[in-house]
């Protein structure tokens, strides 16, 4: 049985991985570091902002104080919001898929993004009311591929009404997200927003979709037999 669907956010609901990359690149550039598009998608996709910044400084052999890290995180969020103000796009089909999924399943968002960034997009898209739980970067101490975020979302849903962890489907676009879903004991459908279909299927995804367009939430019910 499938009872709940847990969505990643960036690259799954919001088609904003490029804005995230650009915002991180901008603040790192001001700090004298570089982040190429290839580096972002191969090494940092799926990580929360804090982990991305810390790792970038480690790779560059530079020190990063806690105070400076907080300043960089705040500036990254400001840059991201400016970019979203100019151009906000959802993953194709997401605006229709989410309300239809809410008619059949309990829904959650599990994101490495800051809560204010997730709320900004969900509110503007009119989708916030469809989600029963939202787990953002501030809510867990460990980011993906650690399963903490997905387990926290499951725990919140389970407290309101019992929910076996195997009755959850995760929808992701990053390989760390896929590993987090598997470590949590959940099914996983992958979108090809950030990786090729071959790479995702080879990594163990249950289903691989190019987007939500043309798909019905009822298709997820078949995963119960796997």
Chosen domain end from 54, 86, 118: 86
Q: Which is nearest to 149 in space by CA: 179, 124, 120?
A: 179
Domain of 60, CATH number, reads 1.10.150.240
Please check whether residue 16 is in contact with residue 22, taking contact to mean a CB–CB distance below 8 angstroms: no
Q: Which is nearest to 218 in space by CA: 130, 126, 94, 103?
A: 103
pLDDT tens, residue by residue, 210-219: 999 999 999 9
User: Tokens standing for 213?
Assistant: 């367009």
Q: Which is nearest to 217 in space by CA: 226, 207, 225, 205?
A: 207
Q: What is the mean pLDDT of the chain?
A: 94
What per-residue confidence (pLDDT) applies to 41?
86
Chosen domain end from 86, 110, 142: 86
Pairing, β 168-172 against β 133-135: unpaired
User: Tokens standing for 62?
Assistant: 């530079």
Do 29 and 122 reside in the same domain of the chain? Answer: no
Chosen domain end from 86, 118, 138: 86
Please check whether residue 31 is in contact with residue 72, taking contact to mean a CB–CB distance below 8 angstroms: yes
Q: Which is nearest to 173 in space by CA: 196, 154, 141, 153?
A: 196
pLDDT tens, residue by residue, 65-114: 999 999 999 999 999 999 988 888 999 999 999 999 999 999 999 999 98
Residue 197, CB-side half-sphere exposure with 13 Å CA sphere: 5
Do 81 and 95 reside in the same domain of the chain? Answer: no
Q: Residue 26: in which H helix or E strand, if any?
A: helix 17-30
What per-residue confidence (pLDDT) applies to 169?
98
What per-residue confidence (pLDDT) applies to 200?
82
Give the integer Cα–Cα distance in Å for 48 and 33. Answer: 18
Do 112 and 57 reside in the same domain of the chain? Answer: no
What per-residue confidence (pLDDT) applies to 195?
84
Residue 57's domain spans which residues?
A: 17-86
Give the integer Cα–Cα distance in Å for 41 and 194. Answer: 7
From first to last of its 226 residues, the chain has per-residue pLDDT tens of: 999 999 999 999 999 888 989 999 999 999 999 999 989 988 888 788 999 999 999 999 999 999 999 999 999 999 999 998 888 899 999 999 999 999 999 999 999 998 988 999 999 999 999 999 999 999 998 889 999 999 999 999 999 999 999 999 999 999 999 999 999 999 999 999 888 888 887 888 999 999 999 999 999 999 987 7
The total of structural domains in the chain comes to: 2
What per-residue confidence (pLDDT) applies to 13?
97
Do 133 and 216 reside in the same domain of the chain? Answer: yes
Domain of 168, CATH number, reads 3.40.50.1000
Do 37 and 96 reside in the same domain of the chain? Answer: no
What per-residue confidence (pLDDT) applies to 46?
78
């Amino acid at each position: 049985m499938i009872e709940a669907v847990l969505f990643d956010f960036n690259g799954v609901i919001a088609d904003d991985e490029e804005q995230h990359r650009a915002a991180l690149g901008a603040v790192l550039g001001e700090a004298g570091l570089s982040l190429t598009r290839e580096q972002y998608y191969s090494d940092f996709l799926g990580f929360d902002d804090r982990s991305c910044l810390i790792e970038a400084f480690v790779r560059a052999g530079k020190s990063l104080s806690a105070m400076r890290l907080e300043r960089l995180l705040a500036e990254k969020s400001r840059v991201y919001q400016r970019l979203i103000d100019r151009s906000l796009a959802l993953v194709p089909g997401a605006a229709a898929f989410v309300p239809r999924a809410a008619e059949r399943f309990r829904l959650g968002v599990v994101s490495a993004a800051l809560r204010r960034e997730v709320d900004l997009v969900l509110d503007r898209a009119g989708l916030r009311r469809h989600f029963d739980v939202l787990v953002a970067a501030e809510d867990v101490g460990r980011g993906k591929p650690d399963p903490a975020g997905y387990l926290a979302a499951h725990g919140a849903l389970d407290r309101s009404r019992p929910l076996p962890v195997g009755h959850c489907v995760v929808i992701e676009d990053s390989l760390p997200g896929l590993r987090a879903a598997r470590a949590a004991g959940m099914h996983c459908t992958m979108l090809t927003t950030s990786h090729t279909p071959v790479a995702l299927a080879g990594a163990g995804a249950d289903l691989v979709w190019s987007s939500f367009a043309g798909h019905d939430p009822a298709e997820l019910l078949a995963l119960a037999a796997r």
